[in-house]
Structure formats: C-alpha cells, structure tokens
Amino acid sequence: MEGSYLLERGYSPIETLRRRASGAQIVLARCQRSNREVVLKFKRTGPLGNEVDQNDITGSIQYEANILANLDHVNIIQFIDLFKVGKNPVMVMEHAMGGTLATLIRTNRKLRNDLATKLTNQLAKAIIFLHNHNIAHCDIKSENILLDGEKNVKLCDFGFAEDVRFPSDGEIVWKGSVAFSSPEGITRVSRDLMAGDVWSFGVVVFNMVTGYLPFGSQGVADILKRMGEPLRWPRPLKTVNGRCREFVEMVLERDVAKRQTMEQLKDHPWLL
C-alpha cells in the first residue's frame, strides 16, 4: 500500500532505515528520475495516504522541510523535495550512507584524534553557517550527525530548529535530549538557543574523543549534579589530546554569559 503511493510520486522504497519514538519513519528509496538513492521522512497515524487530520504530527515535517529548504551547506543534509500523500507530508533528503556519528563511536569505542578533529571542524562549520543565518538547531547530538561515504559530517534533524529572530512567546520550552542539553536549557532559565547549541556541540566532541557522555544519561537530577562538578576525563589523561581537553572545557562553560560563540571557537589550536 505505502509502496504504491510512493511509486506514484516517483520513489521506489528499498528499506525502512529507522522508526523514531516521535513517530517519524525514515525510508531509503530510489528516485526514478535520477536513479539516485534518497531518504524519505514522514510521520503518520494510519496507512500512508489516509485522509486523517494529524495536526502537529504532520506540522513538524512541514516545519522541518521549510527550515532545511533554505539551508545550503556541504555539512548539512541536503533537502531535495517535499510532497504530500493525502495529508501526510513526505520530505525527501540526500542519503548519507555512512550512518550516524553515534554508531561510529559505538563501533570504535572512541575516535582517533585526527578523525575527531576533522569531524569537529566540519560540525563547527555547519553550526556557524546556521547561526550566521539566524537558525539555532536545538537538538545537536551524535545521533543527529550523519556521515557520508567519506566520513564527512551531514547535520540532520531540524524538527526543533528555530529562527532566533522570531522567539517563541510565553514559557521557555526545553527542547532536545537531556544528555546533550545545556544546564540553562534544562532548567529553562535562558532563551539563548545559540549558546545551547555550543554546549551540545561540546558534549558531542567529548563523546567522540572518550566514547562516553560527559554528564551521563541517568536522568535530569543526576545530569545537573554532574554538570556542577569537574569534567571526568578518562585515565590516564594522556589518552585524550591535551589541546582537545582544553577546547572541550572551554566549550562546556556552565555560565552561559561566559560561553564562547562558535565563531570564537573555530580558531582554537586543536582545530588548526
């Protein structure tokens, strides 16, 4: 049933890559016009093509597509198309065949310094591009960083992204994954979404070079407690490059007013 609807739109499904807790499905398909493998992302409550009112469920795909369609950067996943089957928006994106950064870290336990430096540089460039275009990602984490066949960064999943020129009204809403979120984001004391991206970036870098998360993932109270303590680096310390440790501790500045911007961080000696 689903395949026939997608075939009518010119896409031949190959396999389901992921089903997310949010309800999103990620399907690998082949574009009949270009013979290129692409990725389809959609959410649904019933069979694809049903005329059902999904309100916010479909709205997030439409919203993400609107953000991504205006971003053109080599280290950001490429938007290709958006169409509807019934009331179900389906977003078409490039296929990053190297999988997620999270999988690469788990497979290797941690990344070599040279590879971590390369990926950090590319991720920094993607975030700087976003911030220069007034976009905060709001959900940077290892699972949302894809890699192409040459292990180049492709930042994805813009469902929580915001244009900082038009801040949300009312109560501050915590977005993203707690293990990668900033202390001010978790406690909802700041709307500085770009500073939150910087913090999440630092968590990703720590994850790459150590193989684990700096503040754990055992719940909000424990994570906030550990954020107030010195970073727990692996022993012996020489297992992590000294300049890298300095860089990460600079990024993970708890005081949001003192935290550096991505533009300021890009010239750190570890990245040169």
Q: Tell me what the mean pLDDT of segment 133-141 comes to.
A: 97
List, in sequence order, every residue forming a beta bridge with 135; answer none if it has no partner. 163
Q: Are 230 and 188 in contact, with CB atoms under 8 Å apart? A: no
Q: Is the pLDDT of residue 51 over 50?
A: no
Instruction: Note the pLDDT tens digit of each residue in 34-45.
Output: 999 999 999 865
pLDDT at 247: 98
pLDDT at 58: 36
The secondary structure element, H or E, covering residue 12 is strand 11-19
- Percentage of the chain modeled with pLDDT above 70: 90
Q: Helix, strand, or coil here: 13?
A: strand
Return all residues near 42 (Cβ < 8 A) that are at least 6 apart: 24, 25, 27, 48, 61, 85, 88, 89, 90, 91
Q: Could you tell me the domains of the chain?
A: 2-94 (3.30.200.20), 101-271 (1.10.510.10)
Q: Is the pLDDT of residue 103 over 90?
A: yes
Q: Which residue has the higher pLDDT, 156 or 9?
A: 156
Q: Is the pLDDT of residue 55 over 70?
A: no
Instruction: Note the pLDDT tens digit of each residue in 1-34.
Output: 366 778 888 899 999 987 765 678 899 999 999 9
The residues annotated as belonging to the active site are 139
